[in-house]
């Protein structure tokens, strides 16, 4: 879709003015003059001569980095399964300076930490559990120090029965992750109430940190596991799979070197990609700060083959 900077500029223009340019200053519609600048394109109104930058209001505003580099960064960050470290990114785009790579990723990441306020669950059952992540304890004996507690909730969605034989009848829906200071009921129940819709079916283990959820209005299915890992696997398969993949990502891409104070930001990045994995174009627009809502579905469908209304 984006072979060069000009293609990126045309795309930005079409996103912003799907029905053709209209001057933000005087409102006159009609073909503008176009000036290529070092990193973007400026449109000049033929009526009032006002200039409008194509990147105004996006993450690319005031940047000297070419549009195609930004687009590559957004593409790699939203579609690569493991995400990108700045070093990998710099190498992949042949950027001369590490700082440029770091800044681009940093700005794109800012488009990911948008708070997700919608409650998950509702018609879909939700699995909730905790895990420990990060923190090498090697050489210091066994223990959980230096590790952070992460509590997660994931929807269990059912596939439409289309008559085909499939290995799994269910798949993971939306995900929420939060770093908590302890496994007390305040921390765990607080997380559930902030993220899961009242009335949802809630599956947890029998841990004492989850009391009172039935009284709070959930259909709580707690399993007393008696320390049997196989039972836990059968009762909470989806959230365990999420935790396993999360740990692989932290180990693989980030070599377990995430400071506890930054962990929530990385969890947000992980959740962002996870929840949009079927809608990479939506994720791409979000991190670039492009107002995708103004794009008519026909345009997006034409190029990407998929469309999702504002999430
Ligand atoms: Zn004008």
pLDDT, one tens digit per residue, over 222-263 is 887 566 667 777 889 999 999 999 998 888 776 667 778 878
Write down the pLDDT at residue 46.
96
pLDDT in tens, 179-208: 999 999 899 999 999 999 999 999 998 777
The Cα 70–Cα 103 span in angstroms is 11
| CA of residue 25 to ligand 1 center, whole Å | 5
Q: How far apart are the CA of 30 and the centre of ligand 1, in A?
A: 10
* Lowest mean pLDDT segment, chosen from 40-54, 96-110, 218-232: 218-232
pLDDT at 296: 40
Q: Which pLDDT belongs to residue 141?
A: 53
Q: 92: which 2 tokens?
A: 């992949």
Q: Cα of 8 to ligand 1 centre, how many Å?
A: 23
Of all residues in the chain, what percent carry a pLDDT higher than 70? 81
Determine the average pLDDT of the residues in 3-23: 91
Point out the least confidently predicted range of 5-14, 63-72, 263-272: 263-272
Distance 40 CA to ligand 1 centre (A): 20
Q: Phi first, then psi: what are they for 171, rounded to 5°?
A: -145, 165
Q: Is the pLDDT of residue 211 over 70?
A: yes
pLDDT at site 309: 37
pTM (two decimals): 0.77
Does residue 135 surpass a pLDDT of 70? no
**Under 8 Å between Cβ of 128 and 151:** yes
Q: 95 near 69, Cβ under 8 Å?
A: yes
Q: For residues 39 and 219, what is the distance between their CA atoms, to the nearest angstrom?
A: 54
Tokens of 105: 């990723």
Percent of the chain residues topping a pLDDT of 90: 38
- Chain segment 107-131, per-residue pLDDT in tens: 888 777 665 678 999 999 999 999 9
Task: Compute CA distances 123 → 17, 43, 86, 280, whole Å.
Answer: 38, 48, 40, 25
Question: What residue has token string 């992980």?
Answer: 270
Cβ–Cβ under 8 Å, residues 144 and 213:
no
User: How many whole angstroms separate alpha carbon 61 and alpha carbon 53?
Assistant: 8
Q: 297 pLDDT band (50/70/90 cuts)?
A: very low
**CB neighbour list of residue 9: distance below 8 Å, 6 or more residues apart:** 36, 40, 41, 54, 67
Q: How far is the CA of 29 from the centre of ligand 1 (A)?
A: 8
Ligand 1 midpoint to CA 123 (Å): 50
Q: Ligand 1 center to residue 36 CA distance, Å? A: 19
Q: What is the pLDDT of residue 43?
A: 95
């Amino acid at each position: 879709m984006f072979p060069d900077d000009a293609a990126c500029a045309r795309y930005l223009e079409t996103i912003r003015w799907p029905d053709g340019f209209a001057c933000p200053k005087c409102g006159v519609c009609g073909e503008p003059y176009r000036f290529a600048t070092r990193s973007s394109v400026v449109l000049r109104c033929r009526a009032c001569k006002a200039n409008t930058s194509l990147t105004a209001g996006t993450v690319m505003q005031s940047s000297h980095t070419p549009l195609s580099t930004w687009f590559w960064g957004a593409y790699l960050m939203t579609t690569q399964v493991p995400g990108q470290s700045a070093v990998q990114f710099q190498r992949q785009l042949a950027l001369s300076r590490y700082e440029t790579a770091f800044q681009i990723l940093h700005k794109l990441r800012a488009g990911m930490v948008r708070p997700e306020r919608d409650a998950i669950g509702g018609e879909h059952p939700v699995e909730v559990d905790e895990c420990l992540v990060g923190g090498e304890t090697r050489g210091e004996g066994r223990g959980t120090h230096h590790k952070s507690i992460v509590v997660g909730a994931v929807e269990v969605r059912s596939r439409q029965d289309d008559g085909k034989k499939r290995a799994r009848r269910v798949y993971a829906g939306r995900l929420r992750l939060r770093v908590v200071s302890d496994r007390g009921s305040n921390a765990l129940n607080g997380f559930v109430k902030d993220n899961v819709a009242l009335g949802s079916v809630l599956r947890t283990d029998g841990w004492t940190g989850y009391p009172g959820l039935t009284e709070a209005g959930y259909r709580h299915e707690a399993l007393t596991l008696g320390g049997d890992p196989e039972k836990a696997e059968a009762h909470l398969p989806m959230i365990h799979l999420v935790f396993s993949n999360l740990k692989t990502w932290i180990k693989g891409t980030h070599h377990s070197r995430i400071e506890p104070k930054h962990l929530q930001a990385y969890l947000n990045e992980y959740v962002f990609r996870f929840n949009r994995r079927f809608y990479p174009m939506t994720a791409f627009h979000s991190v670039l700060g492009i107002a995708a809502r103004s794009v008519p579905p026909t345009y997006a469908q034409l190029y990407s083959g998929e469309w999702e209304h504002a999430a």
